Structure 1
Amino acid sequence: MSEFRNERKLYRNRKRGVVGGICAGLADYFDVDVVLVRIIAITCLFFTLQVAFIAYWVAYFVLNDDPKTLTNKSGHLKSKFRNSYQRKAVFSSVHDRFRKVETRIRTLEAYVTSPRFKLSDEIDSL
């Protein structure tokens, strides 16, 4: 029975996609022309504005990128950054932001667990 199982998976195809690659991914999955899927998506958008819009964005966040479109010809992962210096700068920036957030959370936790917070909570409840 497993020999009839379809091994295709639904992915976002960002290489052929316009907005998020959802229509291109659906076209690849169902093996139809991407223009047909886009026409159907735009038609659904006009008739069921909220439902089609929400479904598109849910699919954008739920579906993974097609693994075949994430690598270049040499087999390495594509990157937005041209060199390792840019990657290190972004990593350092993100690391600094997380350090600041951690410091703020520690300060908040110290205040919430302090006797002063308990006292002001008791006064407010009176």
Structure 2
Amino acid sequence: MTRRRRRGEHKKYRDTYKRESRRFRSNKRGGWSMGLYRNTREGKVAGVCAGLADHWDIAHWVMRLIWVGGFLFTGTLALWVYLGAWVLLAPQPTRRSSDGGYETEPEYEEAEIEMEYDERHHDYRPRKVFRYSESGGVRLERARERLDAALRRVENMESYVTSRRYNLNKEFSQL
């Protein structure tokens, strides 16, 4: 009886391990639902720093400099963190192109990545933690400039519509 119970418990633990292992691999392939991937094409060692730089939208050399600073201040802790990130982060997914090569565009259809509207590029992009490096005042000033430009266009249209030239052009167009 105890042997059967042990076999049953072993099978239960093995099934739990398989389930957790599948979930871990799924989360890893999906970028941990945050778009976290290693950038192996632009990385120097394993692409961890390049992948984190892509995620936080900063230059790759800045992230490498941060890692070197971390290594100088913490010693081997930074090395262990890098190795852990190497294991935990999957390589950036690529698509197979029609000519047989690889495209570097990530597959956002497979991973559940939250999208946000980027005002500067007027397009939807994957949500990133540090998207805006400017302060709120700079962004407010940019919005104020855009509103002022729109107001100037409306004033110009209004002055044209109320001018004699508009009436003259209207008369010529009716001939």
- TM-score under structure 2 normalisation? 0.36
Q: Give 1 or 2: higher helix fraction.
A: 1
Q: Give 1 or 2: higher strand fraction.
A: 2
Structure 1 or 2, whichever has the larger Rg, is 2
